[in-house]
Amino acid sequence: MTLADLEEKLDKLSFVRIHRSAIVNIKFIREMVKWFGGKYKVRLKDKQQTELVVSRGYVDRIRNL
């Protein structure tokens, strides 16, 4: 199964694609941090405060949350 297939099956109100290789549950996003090159990082609410890069093509999806 591809991420595109999985994205179609997931609830659009609970999950958002942030990169061609990452889909994130919105409830687990702590904050969005500006990064260099016009990109952003999403910091998650886990113990490690995992940071995932948001590609420029998906930034508007995160900003609109």
Domain residue ranges in the chain: 3-63
Share of the chain above pLDDT 90, in %: 65
Question: What integer pLDDT is reported at residue 62 of this predicted model?
Answer: 82
Q: Is the pLDDT of residue 45 over 90?
A: yes
CA angle 27, 30, 36 (to 5 degrees): 125
Question: What integer pLDDT is reported at residue 43 of this predicted model?
Answer: 95
Q: What is the DSSP letter of 65?
A: -
Q: Given pLDDT bands bounded at 50, 70 and 90, which one contains residue 20?
A: very high
**The residue type at 24:** V
